[in-house]
Chain A
Amino acid sequence: MSTPTLELRGVRKVYPGGVEALRGIDLRIDRGELTAIVGPSGSGKTTLLHVMSTLDRPSAGTVMVDGEDASALSEERLAGLRSRRIGFVFQQFFLIDGISAVENVATGLLYHGIPSGERIARATEALDHVGLGHRLDHVPAKLSGGERQRVAIARAIVGRPAIVFADEPTGNLDSRVGTEVMGLLRTLNREGTTMCVITHDRDLADSLPRRVQVRDGQIVGDRRS
């Protein structure tokens, strides 16, 4: 069997103050999967995302990304792991004001230490790929919500990460635009990107090939269709 792209074993997270947000999560995501993590508000989805994506360390248990044990890595190496292996898409887009769409996408390669010319070339390709080749030089303020999220998606995939995490990617979009953005994520997944979408929206989750249900910090269901 090949190396899982992501593997969590016995992951717990206790916040300072005593809230136990994750209580023993075992989860394995393989290459090429498109997984929804679904659960009601407060169930621990965002906490799980932070731990899976190495932005936060678990209180107990192990997180393996692409075969590498994140808990054994220094902060420096974790940063390297995030820059190469993990892509992020946020509900609020988090684009940087004052620089163009293509420069925002190129920021996804900034911490790879490659020269700016190469970054821009690859960012241009990525923007083309998400259908925004005609918006390269627009600043975020001049883009629609859907366009902004496409720029953010291009930024997440420009470094060809092992896995892309999207936390409520359609949460700030109206339903038509949200559907388009989900369509784009599905297309990218078909082209080979492993993807994990966090959502509280059951309908959206039901439209994806794998659904992991979270409640009170535990996995209560894991179904594939």
Chain B
Amino acid sequence: MTPTPTSRLLPRDLLRLGALGLRTRRMRAALSVLGIAIGIAALVAVVGISESSRSDLLNQLDSLGTNLLSVAPGQSFAGGEATLPDTARPMIGRITPVREVSEVANLDTTVRRTDYVDENETGGIQVTAVEPGLLETVSGTVAAGTFITPANGAFESVVLGSVAAERLGITDVGTRVYIGNRWFTVVGILEELPLAGDLDRSALVGFPAATRHFGFGERPDTSKIYLRTDPGQVNQVRDVLAATANPDDPSSVDVSRPSDVLEARAAADDALTALFLGLGLVALLVGGIGVANVMVIAVLERRQEIGLRRALGATTRHVGGQFLTESLIMAGLGGLLGVVLGIGVSVAYAAVSGSGILIPAYAPLGGLVAAIGIGAVAGLYPALRAARLSPTDALRGA
């Protein structure tokens, strides 16, 4: 007599059995799937949104360059406001890796829409003398018109920073504004300057005009010097800048790297990302507990089915596998749905905020793996209970 063959369950049939359990309990399964989906969607969307905005920021940094440095007078040793010596600009220009230098000087005057406006209502707008090369040095662009040039800088021409133009209510070049006690013609309006935010709130005039009308015969004092260095030698230049600008009192010189602020913003998003990732994980945990709960109830309710299957030749492993598969399918569906939802939310966010979309592959893949892992953990205990149930108890317990 040949020995009896062992029981076998085809993998395809195992999948079918897992799906069957869900098909006959749709509402409950759907709720658990939804729980997992919300958790995964939160994770994917958080990663998608923060990575997209971070990559936007980094792209912007890339195009702006991280080799811009600025030098400004800080507090003097005595405690008063320091000034930069007249030698600062030419000395800085002599540092070898420095490629471009441009200085600005804040003028003690105001800009107004007309001469009827009170002189004290400055609207927070600073009038600043600039050199023609400044726009390129700070990677700025004009929204309309031109920047200060050697030609127009000698006359009553003004270029408005983006905030200044908005506050004055000026959208077109050719308009006239009142600076000090003189009419100037707006020749240009700037886009926002991410690396030189002060200048957004400024009305910019040429040094020759500034000297003639507001400097009482002298060139006005330097307020800030912007410079571009070789990208590889930013730190070396930074280290010698203060002493170069003011050899007598280097500690009174403020040196900064404007791109650091943008980088800090990209890094700050990391903290927020961690917070939302945490929240997503909590949602996922709740979803996982939901799946485990549904599976424990399923095992209790389906004792007779378990007994029947054992009578029909199922091994303990077949029974355990069936319930584990059910849990994995539920979690897997939740994961898929969550990934789709999460990508959808990221795309919608990008469309609304006008940023680019960057969803790193680890987000959807990690989401799916996490969901399936949760399904395995949530299904393990119920599956073991189902497998350990004695067939005679299962069949008797009617």
Contacts and interface: CB of A to CB of B under 8 A. Distances in A.
B10 A55 contact: no
Interface residues of B, number: 34
B20 interface: yes
Interface in B4-29: 4-10, 12-13, 16, 20, 23-24
A87 to B, nearest CB: 9
B316 A75 contact: yes
A55 B5 contact: no
Nearest to A83: B313
Contact of A108 (B305, B312, B391): B312
A77 B304 contact: no
A143 interface: no
B315 interface: yes
A116 B305 CA distance: 20
Contacts of B316: 75
A197 to B, nearest CB: 16
A94 B304 contact: yes
Contacts of A75: 315-316
A92 B304 CA distance: 10
A46 B396 contact: yes
Interface in B275-313: 304-305, 307-313
A111 B20 contact: no
B279 to A, nearest CB: 37
A85 interface: yes
Interface stretch (A4-12, A22-30, A95-103, A183-191): A95-103
Interface string B303-347: 011011111111110100000000000000000000000000000
Contact of B392 (A56, A81, A85, A90): A56
A150 B178 CA distance: 102
A68 B312 contact: no
A92 B398 contact: yes
A67 interface: yes
Interface in A66-123: 66-68, 75-77, 79-86, 88, 90, 92, 94, 96-99, 107-108, 110-113, 115-116
B12 A110 contact: no
Interface in A139-167: 155
A35 interface: no
A53 interface: yes
B1 interface: yes
A3 interface: yes
Given A3-B1, A56-B392, A110 B311 contact: no
A115 B9 CA distance: 10
B311 A55 contact: yes
B7 A111 contact: yes
B314 A55 contact: no
B3 interface: yes
B395 interface: yes
B304 A79 contact: no
B312 A83 contact: yes
A76 B9 CA distance: 13
B10 A79 contact: no
Nearest to B17: A110
Nearest to B307: A94
Of B6, B12, B312, B314, chain A has the most CB atoms within 10 Å of the CB of B312
A80 B313 contact: yes
B4 A113 contact: no
A83 to B, nearest CB: 2
Given A46-B396, A83-B313, A68 B13 contact: no
Given A75-B315, A80-B313, A50 B392 contact: yes
B24 A116 contact: no
B311 A113 contact: no
A108 B9 CA distance: 12
Contacts of B7: 76, 79-80, 82-83, 111-113
B386 to A, nearest CB: 15
A55 B398 contact: no
Contacts of B13: 110, 116
Contacts of B1: 3, 66-68
B8 A113 contact: yes
A84 B313 contact: yes
B306 to A, nearest CB: 11
A124 B349 CA distance: 55
Contacts of B395: 55, 90, 94
Contacts of B315: 75-76, 79, 111
Contacts of A155: 312
A79 B9 contact: no
B329 to A, nearest CB: 16
Contacts of B390: 56
17 contacts: A55-B310, A66-B1, A68-B3, A75-B315, A75-B316, A79-B6, A79-B310, A80-B5, A80-B7, A84-B313, A88-B311, A94-B308, A96-B308, A98-B23, A110-B9, A111-B309, A111-B314
Interface of A: 3, 46, 50, 53, 55-56, 66-68, 75-77, 79-86, 88, 90, 92, 94, 96-99, 107-108, 110-113, 115-116, 155
Given A56-B390, A98-B20, A116-B16, 14 more contacts: A46-B396, A56-B392, A68-B1, A76-B7, A77-B3, A79-B313, A79-B315, A80-B313, A92-B304, A107-B309, A110-B312, A111-B312, A113-B10, A116-B13
Interface of B: 1, 3-10, 12-13, 16, 20, 23-24, 304-305, 307-316, 318, 390-392, 395-396, 398
A-B CB proximity, top 7 nearest: A83-B313, A113-B8, A98-B24, A111-B313, A80-B6, A111-B7, A79-B315
